[in-house]
Each structure stands twice: as C-alpha cells, then as structure tokens.
Amino acid sequence: MNEIQSKITCLTEKLMADYGKGRVIDEIKMFDYPDRAVIIDLLEKLKIIIYPGYHRNGNYRTYTVKNNISILLEDIIYNLTKQIAVVLKYAPQHQNPDNDVREAEAERITFAFLDKIPKIREYIETDIQAFYDGDPAAYNKDEIICTYPGLYAIFTARIAHELFLLEVPLIPRIMTEHAHSLTGIDIHPGTTIGKYFFIDHGTGIVIGETTVIGNNVKVYQGVTLGALSTRGGQNLRGKKRHPTIHDNVTIYSGASILGGDTVIGKNVVIGGNAFITSSIPEGARVSVKSQELMYNYDSKHPVERKDVELDETWFYMI
C-alpha cells in the first residue's frame, strides 16, 4: 500500500506541474462555468411543461397541473437564471463584471425565454401531427411523444433556438449536443425551423447553424444540410454557410445539400444519396444519375443490368 501511495503522490506532483503550463486545458474554474447536469435537468423539466400530461415530476408531490407547473417554473427560473448568469461572460455584449448587473440581465433573459413556451408548444403540436401523418408505423400520437427520437431532437432544438435568439452563449449548444448524443441527430441551435417538421428514423442527420427550414419539410436518416467548406475558419462566423429549404420539401436518406447560396424551392423531392451544391427550382424531382444494379441468378445465367433510374423504389430510399 505504501508503494502505491508513493506512486500516487508522484503522479499527482507530475500532473500539478503539467497543469502549470498556461494552456487552455490547464484552466481550473471552480464555480465559473455552466453545470451540464443542471442544464440537462432543466431540459427535462421543460419537457414536463411542454407535455404536461405525458411526463411526471417525481421530485414533488402535487395534485393539480397548476400547482405542478408553478413549482416547476420556480425551479426553472432559479436554475436557468443562475446558469445564464454564469455563461454571459462569454458574450461580448455582457462583459460587465458586476455580478448584480449580470444576474439582472440573466433574469430578464429567463423570463423572455419562458414567455416563448406557448409558441414552442404550438410548433411542437404541428411536428407531432407531421410525424403521425408521415409515418405509417406510428399507431398513435402517444407513441410518437413517448418514443420517437426525431421528435425529441426537434423539441430540444426548438427550446435551444429560443435561447440562441436571446444570445445566450453555450447553454443552447449543451442542450442540442445532449440530444445529439441520445438520438444521433445533430441540429445546431441556430437552425431556423418552420412548422410541421418531420424527421423519420433520424440517425446521422446533421443540420448546420445557418440552415433555414420552411413548413412541412420531411427529412430521413443520414441527411446533411451543411456547409460547402469551413476552411475559412473563424472568418466565416456570422455568414450564411448552410442551405435554405422551402416549404413542402422531402429529402430522402443519405442526401447532402450544401452551401449558404443553395436554395431548395417549394415542393421539391430529393432522392436518396443525392449530392447538391446548387439551387433547385420549385417542384423539381432530383435523383442520383447513372445508378446501376448488376446481378445474376446462378452460373448458367449471364449478368443482368438494370437502370436504377427506372426503378421507383431506388428514388424513395427510406
């Protein structure tokens, strides 16, 4: 045991020396950084407020929805204000070192955000309807609310987006990255999303910060709405790097739509595995060119070829 303790002491001293090199990873912030666990807990409490009949708050014993919501709001206001006050130091417009000023601003932002809850609920109601209308595997809306990862990712993105619009640093990204880790769906909180948004299956979807998505858009797994290039690094900050998707667009699995100047017009359908870097006019039907299947039955039959473009099942790859 003495030998092990000696090794631990030696390693501790070595690490302490390594911490003293002045790098970013050497910074030790005891009480001046956001608490990820608290932020995720806030997200779960907001889920109860969004769906009051579907998720129960086990921390409190209350007998009416009104009492439950009141208690939840008090908890959210306290903790969200505290977390926002911590992260405001990352925002250039909130560099005032006075803690009272920063806490007052955090409280203002918290109440401004909570005022948006009815709007968020309005949009999520349309998303649930889009999921139900678009997925024959959905037997009822309760199933969608309780189990669908796509809806959870959209719920989180809508919460985070309102905080993003209020210029809250870091917290929106913690929320969406939490949803990303659970669902495999990566939606940046800066993304603007219209009503009736439907994500089917969802795994591998990436939607970039400056993407704009209209109403009644349907997206399948593996879709990327991304930037053409990020070689410009920080010089690209604030610029439109990701595509605009207009109303009633369907994007099938594996498709990539890239670039800030790329606009997908209304009522466009984009086939599986399409790679798009320029705008598509309204009503177009986009498919991958020159896909070809080759197969044979056995050694007595020659190889047969089939033009996949003539096969409707290829286009609607789900």
Residue 293 has pLDDT above 90, yes or no: no
**pLDDT band with cut points at 50, 70 and 90 for residue 24:** confident
**Residue 57 pLDDT grade (very low, low, confident, very high; cuts 50, 70, 90):** low
Per-chain mean pLDDT for the chain: 88
- Other C-beta atoms closer than 10 Å to the C-beta of 135 total 17
Both tokens of 66, joined, read 């009104």
- For 238-278, write each residue's pLDDT tens digit: 789 999 999 999 999 999 999 999 999 999 999 999 999 99
> 30-188 adopts what CATH topology?
serine acetyltransferase, domain 1 (1.10.3130)
H-type alpha helices, the chain: 2-19, 36-50, 65-87, 99-114, 117-134, 141-147, 149-165, 171-183, 312-315
Cα–Cα distance for residue pair 291/309, rounded to 1 Å? 7
The dihedral sign for the CA sequence 288, 242, 125, 155? positive
pTM: 0.85
Tell whether the model's pLDDT for residue 109 goes beyond 60: yes
For residue range 127-174, list pLDDT tens digits in order.
999 999 999 999 999 999 999 999 999 999 999 999 999 999 999 999
Q: What is the tens place of the pLDDT at every residue in 94-104?
A: 776 678 888 99
Q: For the chain, how many helices (H) and strands (E)?
A: 9, 16
Burial class (CB in 10 A: 0-12, 13-18, 19+), 32: exposed
Is 60 exceeded by the pLDDT of residue 3? yes
Confidence of residue 287 (pLDDT cuts 50, 70, 90): confident
- For domain 191-318, the question of CATH label 3.40.50.300 is answered with no
Query: Domain ranges in the chain?
Result: 30-188, 191-318
Q: Which two tokens stand for residue 12?
A: 């501790």
Residue at token pair 């009949």: 53
Phi then psi for 158, rounded to 5 degrees?
A: -70, -40
